């Protein structure tokens, strides 16, 4: 008999618990979730990259709407539970929804500590715990004014770095003498302060906040020593406390948090608690690794399985600020029974300290060079006697025994139960087994199947070493290649920093990212121009001088110096009027060759460069626009005649192909994009070797992607089946926008899909309706500023597309 499981809270811990539960006992419970936030489950670890601009909300979603629907889970968004009736076994939300349960899981997380000082409720005073806080900070950051962050711990420093990246003048106030004093010793705290100040963030230590000043909104912060720090935004990041009030009101045993045993059971046998709200063995936790361990144990208990209970382990601390490497673990306080080993390299900005007790590591602090953190963690966890390697211990795993080892030998020396990914509790043996059994070949594959390095990412290098060790010479890592000789940065870093730093011109990019040349080159300028066009529609003006000659003149240069001109024929359909216009142009300009292309269009070859404006003028008068046969953009949508004419056709493939082409033409993409729509599985339009293809079937439209028929020959992957044309259009547009936002310049869809992972693309486009719609909406917005053919625009009055709600989208006209 199916039992009713109610979960209060929808954070990372209950989300991971459900993953385990669905795997181990998929049919045991009817699941209902109440989430106080008005959204789905997302990765809170990644809020700092969202604040800094390195990621957006859609990229940190863990479970989209489609996941809940697929698994039959009822999710109430924006419903805060205000009461638990343990006798009736019901919960009630602030919106009046009541649900009964057989088992209840409380995962209410934590609440920020707000300093009890005058002015703490003024407009402009924010905490930093969830996406709403981040959105409020992003709104405040648009002023480019002054921000004060109260608290120099992990969250405070991540908030300060993010606001600085957004252009604010930031000051950090910290009560203690050095930053992150709970995680770092004074030496590392000093180095961290120096690094932040070099980045333009002011840091004031020993700063006691007396009051927040202002009438109705924040104007400044007054310190106890009399100083006043001007501010238009104040972020409270002075700590958190377990959110246990609901459990206490229900009569459950609480202390700092909700008291649970090592199997996550509260004082009520039918109620479990986990996450930041739970207190187990006298500890409460805020880092993700122990929360995920709680999730695993709670899922096992709900599934009726026996197993080991929760055991406290020190969890490494890492700071998520780009370019600052910090690692700390354990107890590094001084003591008579302790010794320390210290390495300082001032020139390199490196500081390492190991604290020993009875020849065993009890504490580790690493600053500037943290690659050996996982190894030191393993030595500490297993209480390994380090006497034999004491002289070389501080130099890391590669120097065991006094001489450098091959890095692979160091990884090979790790036992199978060595923890590689602390966030997700993934050991070396699990990664190796997944690589071998599932034939994984890339970092993205390992992330998808094991979750190793999928959270904070600090273990990425170690995961890649395990890959190389397991695969040997067959492992081909995706090396970061500089865009060109003008910079040492790769495409991914450049694109991330353009967003993070709000760079909106080619010269701003070159200045802020320290280009080695004054104006770039023919490799980097087109890439930068594309990234800026895509990332800042409406704010950045397309620079035609940064484009290749073919894109500038709307024609393909040929080996004899002449050009070929390809007018657009929507879906390969033409008319007598269009054919006469082409014939007239061919005669008038004595064009020597006219050829039908593989994309169902007509190519006029041998046009002299000086004739191009006049050729396009005449074609424009006939209503033609450029076919973009030269472009890094949508080129063609090949179609068959479909159900209108063919006796095998199941859908009107021609009309759908025209609709897709007219909706999407004119927007730049990282590389050329070719599409096709076949009216039945006989596939006459060859949709299964295109970048994006549609195969019409009786039940709807099968969407394909990531095919190729050039130098690489590969069939498409099936994205999924949709029932209507509207859905097909939305899915194709969203897929294209995801590709536009994530691919590297000149990277074809099939290469991007292999790098990102087809499962991840399906997850974001098909399984997550909210994310898919966001991609679609961003494409629609960018199309308002899509570049049209300037010659055709002059001669025929071309206008931008008119976009309407999807259900009413027809065929946007190309010409008046």
The dihedral formed by the CA atoms of 201, 206, 207 and 210, expressed in degrees to the nearest 10: 170
Stated pTM of the model: 0.65
| Beta partners for residue 556, in sequence order | 564
For residues 614, 620, 625, 630, the Cα torsion angle rounded to the nearest 10 degrees is -10
CA angle 740, 742, 743 (to 5 degrees): 75
Instruction: Please give the pLDDT value at position 765.
Output: 93
Report the Cα 210 to chain-centroid distance in Å: 39
Q: Is the pLDDT of residue 553 over 90?
A: no
For 21, list phi and psi in degrees, rounded to 5: -65, -40
H helices of 283-441, in order, are 288-302, 373-381, 407-412, 428-438
Of the pLDDT bands very low, low, confident and very high (cuts 50, 70, 90), residue 722 is very high
- Which pLDDT score is estimated for 787? 55
Helices (H) and strands (E) in the chain, counts: 25, 40
Q: What pLDDT is attached to residue 499? A: 86
Q: At what angle do helices 524-535 and 491-500 cross, to 10 degrees?
A: 40
Three-state SS string across 657-698, please?
HHHHHHHHCCCECCCCEEEEEECCCCCCCCHHHCCEEEEEEC
* 195-241 pLDDT tens trace: 999 989 999 999 999 999 999 899 999 999 999 999 999 999 998 99
CA dist 358 and 183 (Å) reads 22
Half-sphere exposure of residue 128, counting CA atoms within 13 Å on the CB side? 30
Confidence check: pLDDT of 459 > 80: no
**Tokens 């990531």 correspond to what residue?**
706
**pLDDT at residue 802, rounded to an integer:** 31
Q: Are 148 and 231 in contact (CB under 8 A)?
A: yes
Q: Which DSSP category does 477 fall into?
A: -
For residue 472 the two structure tokens come to 């040997």
Neighbours of 215 (CB within 10 A): 9
Q: What Cα–Cα distance (Å) separates residue 295 from each residue in 243, 280, 429, 671? A: 17, 13, 21, 43
pLDDT score, position 456: 63
Q: Which of 135-139, 367-371, 481-485 has the highest mean pLDDT?
A: 135-139
Other Cβ atoms less than 10 A from the Cβ of 601: the count is: 20
Residue 484 labeled ligand binder: no
**Does 421 show up as a binding residue in the annotation?**
no
| Band (410; pLDDT cuts 50, 70, 90) | low
Distance CA 495, CA 532 (A): 9
| Candidate from 149-163, 169-183, 402-416, 684-698 with smallest mean pLDDT | 402-416
* DSSP secondary structure code for residue 486 in this structure: T
Strands 419-421 and 426-427, by their bridges, are antiparallel
Contact yes or no for 252/265 (Cβ under 8 A): no
Pairing of strands 146-150, 233-236: parallel
Judge whether 423 is annotated as a binding position.
Answer: no
Integer-rounded Cα radius of gyration of the chain = 30
Rounded to 5 degrees, what angle do the CA atoms 21, 27, 28 make? 70
Report the half-sphere exposure of 528 (CA within 13 A, side-chain side): 29
Domains defined for the chain, CATH in brackets = 3-110+242-302 (3.50.50.60), 125-238 (3.50.50.60), 491-547 (no CATH), 551-630 (3.90.480.10), 634-783 (3.30.413.10)
The region, left, alpha or beta by phi > 0 then psi within -120 to 50, assigned to residue 521 is beta
Query: Which tokens go with 637?
Result: 């949508």
Tell me if 486 is assigned to a ligand binding site.
no
The first and second tokens of residue 368, run together, are 């500037």
Nearest-angstrom CA–CA distance, 706 and 700: 20
**Percent of the chain with pLDDT strictly greater than 70:** 93
pLDDT tens per residue across span 291-335: 999 999 999 999 999 888 999 888 888 776 766 888 898 887 777
Provide the H-helix boundaries in 455-535.
460-471, 491-500, 506-512, 524-535
């Amino acid at each position: 008999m199916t039992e009713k499981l109610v979960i209060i809270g929808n954070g990372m811990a209950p989300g991971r618990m459900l993953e385990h539960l669905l795997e181990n006992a998929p049919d045991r419970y009817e699941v209902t979730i109440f989430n106080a936030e008005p959204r789905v489950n997302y990765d809170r670890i990644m809020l700092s990259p969202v604040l800094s601009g390195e990621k957006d909300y859609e990229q940190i979603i863990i479970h989209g709407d489609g996941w809940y629907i697929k698994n039959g889970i009822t999710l109430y968004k924006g419903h805060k539970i205000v009461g638990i009736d343990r006798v009736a076994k019901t919960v009630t939300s602030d919106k009046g929804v009541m649900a009964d349960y057989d088992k209840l899981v409380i995962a209410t997380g934590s609440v920020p500590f707000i300093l009890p000082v005058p002015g703490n409720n003024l407009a402009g005073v924010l905490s930093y715990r969830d996406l709403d806080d981040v959105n409020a900070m992003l709104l405040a950051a648009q002023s480019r004014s002054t921000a004060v962050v109260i608290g120099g711990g992990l969250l405070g420093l991540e908030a300060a770095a993010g606001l600085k990246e957004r252009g604010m003048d930031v000051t950090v106030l910290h009560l203690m003498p050095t930053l992150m004093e709970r995680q770092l010793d004074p030496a590392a705290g000093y180095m961290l302060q120096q690094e932040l100040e070099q980045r333009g963030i002011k840091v004031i230590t020993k700063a006691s906040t007396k009051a927040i000043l202002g009438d109705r909104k924040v104007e400044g912060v007054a310190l106890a020593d009399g100083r006043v720090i001007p501010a238009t935004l104040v972020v409270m990041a002075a700590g958190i406390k377990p959110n246990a009030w609901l459990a206490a009101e229900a009569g459950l045993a609480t202390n700092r948090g909700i008291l649970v045993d090592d199997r996550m059971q509260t004082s009520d046998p039918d109620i479990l608690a986990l996450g930041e709200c739970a207190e187990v063995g006298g500890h409460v936790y805020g880092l993700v690794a122990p929360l995920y361990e709680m999730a695993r144990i709670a899922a096992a208990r709900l599934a009726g399985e026996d197993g080991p209970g929760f055991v406290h382990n020190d969890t490494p601390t890492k700071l998520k600020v780009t370019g600052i490497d910090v690692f700390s673990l354990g107890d590094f306080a001084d003591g008579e029974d302790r010794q320390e080993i210290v390495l300082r390299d001032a020139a390199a900005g490196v500081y390492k300290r190991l604290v020993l007790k009875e020849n065993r590591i009890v504490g580790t602090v690493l600053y500037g060079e943290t690659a050996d953190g996982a190894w030191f963690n393993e030595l500490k966890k297993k209480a390994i006697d380090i006497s034999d390697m004491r002289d070389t211990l501080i130099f890391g795993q590669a120097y065991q025994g006094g001489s450098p080892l091959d890095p692979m030998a160091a990884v090979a020396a790790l036992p199978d139960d060595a923890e590689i990914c602390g966030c997700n509790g993934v050991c070396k043996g699990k990664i190796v087994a997944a690589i071998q059994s599932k034939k994984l070949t890339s970092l993205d594959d390992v992330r998808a199947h094991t979750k190793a390095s999928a959270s904070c990412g600090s273990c990425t290098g170690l995961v890649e070493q395990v890959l190389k060790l397991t695969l040997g010479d067959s492992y081909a890592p995706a090396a970061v290649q500089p865009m060109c000789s003008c910079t040492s940065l790769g495409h991914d870093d450049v694109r991330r920093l353009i967003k993070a730093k709000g760079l909106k011109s080619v010269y701003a990019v070159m200045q802020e990212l320290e280009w080695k040349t004054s104006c770039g080159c023919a490799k980097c300028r087109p890439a930068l121009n594309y990234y800026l066009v895509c990332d800042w529609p409406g704010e950045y003006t397309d620079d035609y001088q940064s484009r290749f000659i073919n894109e500038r003149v709307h024609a393909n240069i040929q080996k004899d110096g002449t050009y070929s001109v390809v007018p657009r024929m929507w879906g390969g359909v033409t008319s007598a009027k269009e054919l006469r216009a082409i014939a007239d142009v061919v005669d008038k300009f004595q064009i020597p060759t006219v050829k039908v292309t593989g994309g169902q269009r007509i190519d006029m070859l041998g046009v002299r460069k000086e004739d191009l404006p006049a050729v396009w003028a005449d074609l424009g008068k006939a209503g033609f626009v450029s076919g973009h046969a030269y472009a890094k953009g949508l080129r063609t949508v090949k179609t068959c005649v479909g159900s209108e004419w063919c006796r095998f056709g199941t859908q009107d493939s021609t009309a759908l192909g025209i609709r897709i082409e007219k909706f999407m033409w004119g927007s730049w993409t990282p590389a050329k994009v070719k599409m096709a729509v076949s009216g039945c599985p006989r596939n006459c339009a060859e949709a299964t070797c295109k970048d994006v293809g549609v195969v019409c079937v009786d039940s709807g439209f099968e969407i394909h992607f990531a095919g190729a028929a050039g130098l690489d020959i590969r069939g498409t992957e099936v994205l999924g089946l949709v029932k209507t044309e509207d859905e097909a259009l939305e899915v194709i547009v969203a897929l294209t926008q995801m590709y536009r936002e994530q691919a590297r310049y000149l990277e074809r869809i099939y290469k991007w899909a292999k790098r990102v992972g087809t499962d991840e693309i399906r997850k974001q486009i098909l399984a997550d309706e909210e994310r898919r719609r966001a991609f679609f909406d961003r494409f629609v917005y960018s199309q308002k500023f899509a570049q049209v053919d300037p010659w055709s625009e002059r001669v025929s009055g071309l206008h931008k597309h008119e976009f309407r709600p999807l259900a009413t989208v027809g065929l946007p006209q190309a010409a008046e």
